[in-house]
A and B are shown apart, each in its own frame.
Chain A
Amino acid sequence: MSSIKLKNISKYICKNINLEIFDKELLVLLGPNGAGKSTLLNVIAGLIDYEGSVFFNKIPVDKEPANKRRIGYLFQELNLFPHLDVSANIAYGLRIQKQSQDEIRTRVEELLQIMKIKHLSSRYPKELSGGEKQRVALARALANSPRILLLDEPMNSLDYRTSKYLRTEFKILQKKLGITTIYVTHNFYEAEEMAQRIAVLDKGSVEQVGSPQEIFFHPTEAVNDFIGAPNILTCDYCNRLSFGLIEVKCGDISLVVSSEREKIKKVAILPEDIYLSDTRPPGPDVNRVRGKLTEIEESSSTVCCTVKTGKNSLKVKLPQEIFASMNLNIGDEVWLILAPRKLKIITDGE
């Protein structure tokens, strides 16, 4: 059992934060830069002083220093010790615990195997790639069998492919180990992919806690400002196609979405995830919608357009330069592309 409870936590920007993370849960702390996410992790780890109380398994740990809290912490900068090789980095915590040489060797071997980095055991951090460093840092954080794992934007410095691959691997590992985890990110899609629940943090307070679907389809006003208000379409008709694809009809809009479940209630997409074109786009006529431009709102770097398609209206956000290059006016005919990968769905069971 390793639940975490935060009661009236105040530190720096964080004001009176109350939050509960359940045993074995993977909770994603989502928020913009400067929202207080890392501060909250440091409070849980006991690395900084704070007001309020932190409970592990309903027991207050405020008096326990960081080195006694049995926490695995994957820092944003990873912080691998540059003077120790991979094996010594992983073994660091075990040596501190004064485990026997045999025990240390066995555990390090085991972690090298799990993280698939056996071939890197004698390398130094400066000789590793970003993804390899990530694996070593995770192995080091897990070495002491911590009761809680904290990950502070660990994939920030990695390219999309490596980050996606590591996220999938980590999710499987977290489930296998059953370790209570808090994962910090500022990227909604990353949060959605990882989380059982998401807690949205903004300006030092928890704005919303819920499943990824709840956060996306029913965001509070503050969350709306951060992740953006999505276009939400109610489905009138669903039809299962092959390969896990479902054809849905929302008014005059016909879409193909990827889903295991057949009964889809709603479909949503963020304005910045819709492509807008002034001519008919080439390619198959799937997820392409024709409409009329009814509203244009310009801000400093983006333009928000409203496009009427039958009884539905869709908001589309695009960079100002791209919009200017199309020379569009209100009343013009435009085409929209709604990428299946970016469509979020709510099915009957949710």
Chain B
Amino acid sequence: MKIVKIFKLKWEIIPIIIFLGIWEIIARLDLMPGQFFFPPFSTVVTEFWYLTVSGVLGRNFLSSLIRVLIGFSAGSIAGLFIGIIMGWNNLANKALNPIISLIYPIPALGWLPLLMLWFGIGEILPIAIIFICSFFPILYNTVTGIKNVNKNYIYAARTLGAPDIEIITTVVMPLALPNIFTGLRLEAGMAWRVIIAAEMVAIPTGIGALMMKAESLIRIDIIIVCLIVLGIMCLSFEKFFAFLEKKLTYRWR
């Protein structure tokens, strides 16, 4: 089993190695016009090492990570909470749905000018942006998940003596989990994309800000390091929620 897994993993790595090799060769042989703008992969690795050892990358990465974690957690919890109310109670759904439908299509970054004026340039601004970006998709996925739960399971729980709150926590929520996780998985990656954009536009710290500084210093290698870190983080967050979903639901789905 383990051997098969390792073998499979090796196969996945091979295209990446080939891609990095071609990159290195093209850059080293000056096959790209303007060699300065296309550093070899080895230079990027050296820069990554330097940025890590000097603490620059760690500091900026930590700033972005904390913002993402706070904004994403707060947005998810709020989305989940209001989603449960809207999914369970038809009256709440009818009352809130028109307002939410109107606000939902606005891109998270569209709020940036308004939030800059409301909160100023500070830590709250990126957290607020991520909150907005996470809140709506998780809210919609929770509502859909709850509405998709077969009514007969609710009837069954009711005849077994369960009051509404127990039905929500012990039947409806576990059965709505696959839908909720779809929202969490997609938004976890999205939160990283949004934070970078916000930091590039308005915040002086974080991976996005580091990229902007590198751009003004024409340091392509640093920009590529930041892009790689960003790619890894988006993927890791999405994979984490996919893993959690599988762990919680694979036995019964």
A residues adjacent to B (C-beta < 8 A): 42, 45, 47, 65-73, 75, 77, 79, 81-85, 92-93, 96-97, 124-126, 140-141, 143-144
Contact = CB atoms under 8 A, between A and B. Distances in A.
Interface in B147-199: 150, 152-153, 155-163, 166, 170-171, 174-175
A85 B253 CA distance: 12
Contacts of B160: 67, 92-93, 96, 140, 143-144
Contacts of A140: 160
B153 A81 contact: yes
A85 B166 CA distance: 18
Contact of B155 (A65, A79, A84): A79
A79 B175 contact: no
Given A92-B170, A96-B166, A125-B252, A79 B153 contact: yes
B8 interface: no
A83 B249 contact: yes
Given A79-B153, A83-B174, A83-B175, A96 B159 contact: no
A67 B252 contact: no
Given A82-B252, A83-B249, A83-B252, A144 B174 contact: no
Given A82-B175, A82-B252, A125-B252, A93 B152 contact: no
B251 interface: yes
Interface of B: 150, 152-153, 155-163, 166, 170-171, 174-175, 249, 251-253
Contacts of A81: 153, 156-157, 171, 175
Contacts of A71: 159
Contacts of B251: 85, 124
B63 to A, nearest CB: 39
A126 B153 CA distance: 15
Output the residue of B155, B156, B253 with the most chain A CB within 10 A. B156
A96 B162 CA distance: 6
B161 A93 contact: yes
30 contacts: A47-B158, A47-B159, A65-B158, A66-B155, A66-B159, A67-B159, A67-B160, A68-B161, A70-B161, A72-B159, A73-B156, A73-B159, A75-B152, A75-B155, A75-B156, A77-B152, A79-B153, A81-B157, A81-B171, A82-B253, A83-B174, A83-B175, A83-B252, A93-B160, A96-B162, A96-B170, A124-B252, A126-B252, A140-B160, A143-B160
Contacts of B171: 81
Given A45-B155, A83-B174, A83-B175, 6 more contacts: A42-B155, A70-B161, A73-B159, A83-B252, A85-B251, A96-B161
A77 B152 CA distance: 8
Contact of A67 (B153, B161, B253): B161
A5 B253 CA distance: 41
A110 B88 CA distance: 35
Central interface residue in B150, B160, B170, B253, by most chain A CB within 10 Å: B160
Given A79-B152, A81-B156, A124-B252, A67 B162 contact: yes
B213 to A, nearest CB: 49
Majority secondary structure, B binding face: helix
Contacts of B158: 47, 65-67
B61 to A, nearest CB: 37
A140 B171 CA distance: 15
A103 to B, nearest CB: 15
A139 to B, nearest CB: 12
B67 to A, nearest CB: 34
A66 to B, nearest CB: 4
Contacts of A69: 159
Contact of B161 (A47, A77, A82, A144): A144
A144 B253 CA distance: 27
Nearest to A71: B159
A305 to B, nearest CB: 44
B170 to A, nearest CB: 7
Contact of A79 (B156, B161, B252, B253): B156
B127 to A, nearest CB: 34
B103 to A, nearest CB: 33
Residue from B150, B161, B163, B174 having most chain A Cβ neighbours under 10 A: B161
B36 to A, nearest CB: 58
A67 B152 contact: no
Contacts of A45: 155, 159
A85 B174 CA distance: 13
Nearest to B159: A73
Contacts of B156: 73, 75, 79, 81
Nearest to B174: A83
A342 B158 CA distance: 41
Nearest to A66: B158
Contacts of B155: 42, 45, 47, 66, 73, 75, 79
A141 B161 CA distance: 11
Nearest to B166: A96
Nearest to A143: B160
A122 B253 CA distance: 15
A97 B252 contact: no
A95 to B, nearest CB: 8
Contacts of A77: 152
A93 B158 CA distance: 9
Contacts of B157: 81, 92
A147 B54 CA distance: 74
B122 to A, nearest CB: 43
